[in-house]
Every structure is written in structure tokens, then in C-alpha cells.
Amino acid sequence: MHMNKTVTLLIPCYNEEESLPLLYDTLVPIMDDARYDWELLFINDGSTDHTLSAIQALREKDPRISYIDLSRNFGKERAMLAGFDYAQGDCVVILDADLQDPPSLVPEMLRYWEEGYEDVYAKRRSRGKEGWLRKKLSLAYYSLLQKTTRVEILQNVGDFRLLDRKCIEALKQIRENERYTKGMFCWIGFKKKEILFDRGDRVVGKSSFNFASLFNLGIDGITSFTTAPLRMSTILGFIISLGAFLMMMFFLLKRLIFGDPVQGFSALIVVILFLGGIQLLSLGIIGEYIGRIFNETKNRPVYLVNTYQGREKN
């Protein structure tokens, strides 16, 4: 049917030895039904368990499997870029190894791709088992990001999507070290199509994103897509200076007209501490951006590959 087109399934893996056989067993029947030529590209992101040998075992019995073994753990964002660089398909579908992104959606994505959509992304209708606080915080975070960035960053949309070769070529050009891929998908543009799904829970193992790593990813999202915090500290500085100036005039006049001596040691301390706090905060914000400039100017490779085993043509 569409035998001439190749689909790459890109799967970043970090300590996923248990999920891989399950994932393979679910994916293969679906992909064989879809009747495309396909490649399963695993990226072993410096796993500390037997993920690599699990991948190699799968490759032994199925030549449509290829893999990249990174030299250490680089994080999912960078692992995905490695995948974009090595993917051979006419389109790429990014999937989590833990089956939280249901492979059963892939045929629907492929249908939209055939219709001419270049970026078919899956939006979560529900978020599976997650804490109340995590849900609330994520909601607040996205509305903040939305208000301050010029590109639209979609809420409840993860990395689970189908990307046309055009999008992959575009993403390959974005070689930032501190990556916020979710924002990049929106930034590149192209013809997008949304489909809805219910995100399940991890089949085995546990999530490798804890609160701190999500917080860091969140900061990366803000600093790589908006300079609004810098603007904010400028505005804040302006308002406070204006207030201080008015206050100064007020006390000066009071002194000149009524001869009242200035009083209030505690008020003074409060003002000093408040200003000190604001100054540190602004410095911190500037520091975040300078840190990023520092990291980007070093111009290091985004990831390093230990071995790459390509698909054997069949």
C-alpha cells in the first residue's frame, strides 16, 4: 500500500529494561497492520540497568530495529535530538518507552499525515495518576508561559507526536544545549493537527522526572522562550524608584514645612530589606540568562554517541 514510505519510531530510553519487551510486542502488530516500511530507533540515554542489552536482544531477532547508545545520560531532550539526527524515516513518531503514549494512536496519526498534516500531536484529555499539586502547578506554569511568550506553547501536549521529514530537518537545525523541545515544536510552525487521548499510567518502573527536574525544565522553558522576567525586573525597579522618589519628596517637605524629624527605624529596615530582596532577585534573573549565554557560547556538542547500529535494509 504505502510500502515506499518509511516511518521511524523514535524511543528515548532511560532505565527501561522492563518496558522494552512490552513496548515491542504492542508496537509490532500495529505497525505491521499500518503497512509502512518502518524502523524502530531506540536511544539508550546512558541507562544504568540492562536497557542496552535488552535493545540488542530485540535487534537480534528483528532487523528493523536500530539504536543509538549515548556516551552517558544526557536527558530526554537531548536524546530526542540524537534521534532526529539519525532517523531515516519520511516521518518520525516520538513515543515514550513506558507505554504511557498509547501506540494504538499511531495509525490515526499516520492517516492525518497522509492527508498532508506535518505535525500531528496528541493532546492529553486526562493526565493519568498524578498528584493534585503537580496538576495545579503545571496549569499555572503554562498560563504564565503562554502570557509571556510570542510563540504559542501548548498545554497538556507532550512529546508524543508524528513529525514530517520537513519538521525533523527544521528541528535538527536547533542545536541549543539547554533544550525545551516542547517549545521548539511550536516554534517551527508547519501544518499542525491535534488529536486527543487519555494518558495511561506507566506499565512498569517509575518516572525519572522528579519535582526538581521538572522545575529545572520549567526554568529552561521560560529562559529559552522569553525574556519577560528581565522586562519585569526593569518595570519593578522603575516602580520602586518612583515610589522612593515620591516618598523622599514627601519627607523633605514635611521636614521643611512642619519641622518634623524623620522617624521610624523599623520602617527603614523593612524598606532596605525589601529593596535588597528585589535586587537579589533581579540579579538572579539576569544570572539565569547569563548562565545560558555562557553555556551556549561554549558551543559543545549537544550529545555524544558511543555506538550507532543502523537498520538493516530488508
Tell me how far, at minimum, the Cβ of 233 lies from ligand UDP, in Å. 31
Give yes or no for residue 209 binding ligand UDP (CB under 6 A). Answer: yes
Q: Is the dihedral of CA 38, 76, 98, 214 positive or negative?
A: negative
Task: Tell me whether residue 45 or residue 220 sits nearer to ligand UDP (CB atom).
Answer: 45
Span from 37-45, 80-88, 99-107, 303-311 in contact with Mg ion (CB under 5 A): 99-107
Task: Tell me whether residue 45 or residue 118 sits nearer to ligand UDP (CB atom).
Answer: 45
Give yes or no for residue 19 binding Mg ion (CB under 5 A). Answer: no
Task: Tell me whether residue 17 or residue 96 sits nearer to Mg ion (CB atom).
Answer: 96
Residue tagged 501536549 (cell numbers): 157
Give yes or no for residue 58 binding ligand UDP (CB under 6 A). Answer: no
12 binds, among Mg ion, ligand UDP, none (CB under 5 to 8 A by kind): ligand UDP
Sheet holding 6-13, edge to edge: 192-198, 119-126, 157-164, 91-94, 6-13, 37-44, 65-70, 305-309
Give yes or no for residue 101 binding ligand UDP (CB under 6 A). Answer: no
Buried/exposed code over 191-224 (b: 16+ C-beta within 10 A; e: otherwise): ebbebebebeeeeeeeeeeeeeeeeebbebbbbb
120 within 8 A of 195, measured Cβ to Cβ: yes
182 within 8 A of 153, measured Cβ to Cβ: yes
Q: Determine the distance from the C-alpha atom of residue 95 to the mean position of all C-alpha atoms in its chain, rounded to a whole number.
A: 14
Tell me how far, at minimum, the Cβ of 161 lies from ligand UDP, in Å. 14
* Greatest Cα pair distance in the chain: 95
Task: Tell me whether residue 210 or residue 299 sits nearer to ligand UDP (CB atom).
Answer: 210
Task: Tell me whether residue 87 or residue 97 sits nearer to ligand UDP (CB atom).
Answer: 97
Give yes or no for residue 79 binding ligand UDP (CB under 6 A). Answer: yes
Give the interface with ligand UDP as residue ranges (CB under 6 A): 12-14, 16, 45, 73, 75-76, 79, 96-98, 100, 202, 207-209
